[in-house]
Amino acid sequence: MSRTLTSTPAADGFHVPSELGPHAGCWMLWPERPDNWRRRALPAQLAFAAVARAIARFEPVTVGASAGQYRRARASLPPAVRVLEISSDDAWMRDVGPTFLVDAQARTRGVQWRFNAWGGLYEDYALDADVAQKVLELAGCERYCAPLVTEGGAIHVDGQGTALVTEQSLLDPRRNPGLDRGRVQRLLERYLGVSRVIWLGEGVVEDETAGHIDNLACFARPGEVCLTWTEDVRDPQRRVCAAALERLLEARDARGRRLRVHRIPSPGPLYLTWREARGILPRPGIRALRPGRRLAASYINFYAPNGALLMPLLDTRTDAAARRALQHVFPRRRIIGVPAAREILLGGGNLHCITQQQPLASGRS
Amino acid sequence: MSRTLTSTPAADGFHVPSELGPHAGCWMLWPERPDNWRRRALPAQLAFAAVARAIARFEPVTVGASAGQYRRARASLPPAVRVLEISSDDAWMRDVGPTFLVDAQARTRGVQWRFNAWGGLYEDYALDADVAQKVLELAGCERYCAPLVTEGGAIHVDGQGTALVTEQSLLDPRRNPGLDRGRVQRLLERYLGVSRVIWLGEGVVEDETAGHIDNLACFARPGEVCLTWTEDVRDPQRRVCAAALERLLEARDARGRRLRVHRIPSPGPLYLTWREARGILPRPGIRALRPGRRLAASYINFYAPNGALLMPLLDTRTDAAARRALQHVFPRRRIIGVPAAREILLGGGNLHCITQQQPLASGRS
């Protein structure tokens, strides 16, 4: 069923479509690890369930859970959400799931990236490393195995030949120590089916993924980018945003267009509270989660199911402005705020990180 | 997706089709428990892989494996066989999988029976108890939950209103202590969509399933039954076969027909060898597997994928005669002998026990 192909997507006429195009559905995983999610992941499970329920109003959702969590996941989710056994080390489907591709014949395939737990954040990641293969087998899609250590959250595309990445994550020596920028760029071109890669520098500060683009910036549509933005010159995040803006304004996309940049206000800065930190089971070799640690919060980490946009609600001081900004960029999408987003943020990501859309292949490019 | 229905199949116009009708595919599980399968289940895994490969020549096969065995199962099976995570306590998909139903609108649904490990053969069976639900969710089929403790191997149907069962398994006080024959029969009628139940007495001797019909007799087509048979009057099996024959010859099916009975020679008697027994890890509370124990061997325990019939090869003294007998009954099916069948027999069942066909609903009844 899920045959492994030895060619490349570009050679076979496949490309990654815009994630704002039509979806066949959404894949998610079920959180459980007590050394990352506080209080034995129970609040996170409620948060993930709320997200799955919200997405299921717009497109089919599948949630993968371990055998041990299956009954709990099944009981926590409505019948409209499909619950299957897919074990993971942690529940970041964006990063461990496949990156789906389509072609002009309306076929869907997938790329499995090499996975090493974001450059070694965990020691054991054998389950995470197999998630993409399992999802592609479930989806009935043929698979490309890219010889590049990266994650779905490290990559955005416009669906018209342009990719958007950060140097911090794609050129991370803990991921691909042997690969230089030219080689990484060629691999991205071949496996994403793009002809232009726009390189930003660093990602959001304190992001444990080491600079994933999906917390910093994303395409709103071809020629338009959303960028998380702060005016606060005392915030170290300010420098990152300004540098990203500068590169975006200098860039041209695959079709030679200059980019229009929408600045989406940043929340916070937000910090892990003492109360939140104390619910996390410490384990040797796993990141320390100390009170006062800055959280890598960003409204860019949204998920857009068919016809809607789920945005994380993170900070009452900025939520309304961010919602207005996103509604302005996406006037036809119904914006839905997710109050449980802080719980997901505590685990190290947000709505985009815990979801992976499967495109509805239409045959149009 | 897999909604649970509170009505019954009979009330909704659904029935279990003949398993000799067209299949959409076949579901299997991957064996691993070292207290049932000798030598850490490695020979059994080879046997199951050979069966999956053989079936995959005729119809799509899905094999469910635990997270821990996923890579091994995936590497042991060809790409044409789909491998998914479905954890089980043991690997008897016939018994723990759903019983599929069809209706005149070509819809497919499934029954999940209550499962208690064949009346308590194991103490822990939470994973086995969930397999049917997981398969139905994967197959995208709605689910009926029957209030009856039984297993798929305890039931055969002709697809035209008749079921064939044994009293030994269906009236087992360790399964349904509160239910009398009349109540069990009504539940079978409602959940299988049949109007007539033919009751045989006991099953094959030493069968750990406590008398599953699928080792003793099966429908070849409406009005015709295959029965395992021995002429050896010193064999205790002889009495069981003769009693079954008597009841079959007395019976009328749902359409009032008398049954034609095809006697399929029995192998053996066959016994567990010392060498085989010593590879099984003993565990408290699990059946003792001592050398010299009789094996519940039967050629009736075959599996018939589209256009073929996989028969267990069990005994060089009887294999050829059994093959001729089966070819006579199924002249259009390609008979394929499975040499690995003894390994499966050592675990307590055979080809029918480790498979579960999903019918191809045609809309014709």
| Contact call for A60 and B87, based on CB within 8 A | no
Question: pLDDT tens across A21-59, in order?
Answer: 999 999 999 999 999 999 999 999 999 999 999 999 999
Binding-site residues on chain A for chain B (CB distance < 8 A): 1-4, 60, 66-67, 70-71, 74, 79-87, 126-127, 130, 133-134, 137-138
| A70-90 residues labelled b (16+ CB within 10 A) or e (exposed) | bebbbebbeeebbbbbbbbbb
Which ipTM was obtained for this model? 0.92
Binding-site residues on chain B for chain A (CB distance < 8 A): 1-4, 60, 66-67, 70-71, 74, 79-87, 126-127, 130, 133-134, 137-138
Task: Report how many helices (DSSP H) and strands (DSSP E) chain B contains, helices first.
Answer: 11, 18
Q: Which residues contact B267 (CB under 8 A, 6 or more apart)?
A: B297, B298, B299, B314, B315, B317, B318, B319, B322
Min Cα distance B25 → chain A (Å) is: 13
Return per-residue pLDDT of chain B as tens, 365 residues.
568 999 999 999 999 999 999 999 999 999 999 999 999 999 999 999 999 999 999 999 999 999 999 999 999 999 999 999 999 999 999 999 999 999 999 999 999 999 999 999 888 999 999 999 999 999 999 999 999 999 999 999 999 999 999 999 999 999 999 899 999 999 999 999 999 999 999 999 988 878 999 999 999 999 999 999 999 999 999 999 999 999 999 999 999 999 999 999 999 899 999 999 988 887 776 666 788 999 999 999 999 999 999 999 999 999 999 999 999 999 999 999 999 999 999 999 999 999 999 999 887 65
What number is the average pLDDT over the span A113-135?
95
Q: Residue A82 is nearest to which of B86, B126, B137, comparing CB atoms?
A: B137
In this structure, what token pair is assigned to residue A289? 């989660």
DSSP classification of residue B16 = P
How, if at all, do strands A356-359 and A23-29 pair? antiparallel
Percent of chain A with pLDDT over 90: 90
In this structure, what token pair is assigned to residue B362? 């045609």
In this structure, what token pair is assigned to residue B316? 């060089």
DSSP line for B79-133: TTSEEEE---SS--HHHHSPEEEE-TTS-EEEEEEE--HHHHS-S--HHHHHHHH
Architecture of B4-359 per CATH?
5-stranded Propeller (3.75)
Four-residue CA torsion sign, B272, B275, B279, B285: positive
State the Cα angle at A247 between A244 and A253, rounded to 5°. Answer: 120
| Contact call for A79 and B2, based on CB within 8 A | yes
Name chain A contacts of B67, Cβ cutoff 8 Å.
Answer: 66-67, 85, 87, 127
Q: How many other CB atoms sit within 10 Å of the CB of residue A334?
A: 13
Do A195 and A161 meet the contact criterion of CB atoms below 8 Å apart?
yes
In this structure, what token pair is assigned to residue A306? 């068919």
From CA A133, how far away is CA B267, in angstroms rounded?
43
Please provide the average confidence, as pLDDT, over all residues in chain A.
95
Does pLDDT of A296 surpass 90?
A: yes
Sole residue written with tokens 């010392």: B274
Residues of B annotated catalytic, as ranges: 353
Q: Residue B86 is nearest to which of A83, A85, A127, comparing CB atoms?
A: A85
Name chain B contacts of A81, Cβ cutoff 8 Å.
Answer: 1
Burial of B263 (0-12, 13-18, 19+ CB in 10 A): middle
Q: Which residues contact B52 (CB under 8 A, 6 or more apart)?
A: B28, B61, B63, B77, B81
B174 closest CA partner among B128, B125, B130, B210: B210
Do B216 and B154 meet the contact criterion of CB atoms below 8 Å apart?
no
A117 closest CA partner among A4, A15, A33: A33
What number is the average pLDDT over the span A165-173?
96
Question: pLDDT tens across A142-154, in order?
Answer: 999 999 999 999 9
Four-residue CA torsion sign, A248, A253, A256, A262: negative
From CA A187, how far away is CA A166, in angstroms rounded?
15
Question: pLDDT tens across A215-232, in order?
Answer: 999 999 999 999 999 999
From CA B267, how far away is CA B312, in angstroms rounded?
10
Name chain A contacts of B137, Cβ cutoff 8 Å.
Answer: 82-84
A156 closest CA partner among A113, A198, A96, A106: A198
CA–CA distances in Å: residue B267 to residues A105, A234, B6, B232: 54, 84, 44, 11
DSSP classification of residue A258 = B
What is the domain partition of chain B in residue ranges? 4-359
Name chain B contacts of A134, Cβ cutoff 8 Å.
Answer: 70, 84-85
Note the pLDDT of residue A278: 87
Q: How many other CB atoms sit within 10 Å of the CB of residue B159?
A: 20
- CA B62 from chain centre, in angstroms, equals 16
Q: How many other CB atoms sit within 10 Å of the CB of residue B222?
A: 18
DSSP classification of residue B223 = T
- CA A76 from chain centre, in angstroms, equals 23
Name chain A contacts of B134, Cβ cutoff 8 Å.
Answer: 70, 84-85
Q: Which residue of A has its CA nearest to B67?
A: A87
| Contact call for A85 and B83, based on CB within 8 A | no
Note the pLDDT of residue B121: 86
- CA A108 from chain centre, in angstroms, equals 19
In this structure, what token pair is assigned to residue A301? 């980490």
Note the pLDDT of residue B281: 84
Mutating which of A1, A63, A90 best tests the B interface, going by the most B Cβ atoms within 10 A? Answer: A1
How, if at all, do strands B99-102 and B108-114 pair? antiparallel
Across the A/B interface, how many CB contacts are shorter than 8 Å? 60
In this structure, what token pair is assigned to residue A332? 């036809």
From CA A190, how far away is CA A186, in angstroms rounded?
6
Length of chain A: 365
DSSP classification of residue B303 = B
From CA B171, how far away is CA B178, in angstroms rounded?
10
Note the pLDDT of residue A364: 63
Active site residue A141: no
Q: Which residue of A has its CA nearest to B137?
A: A82
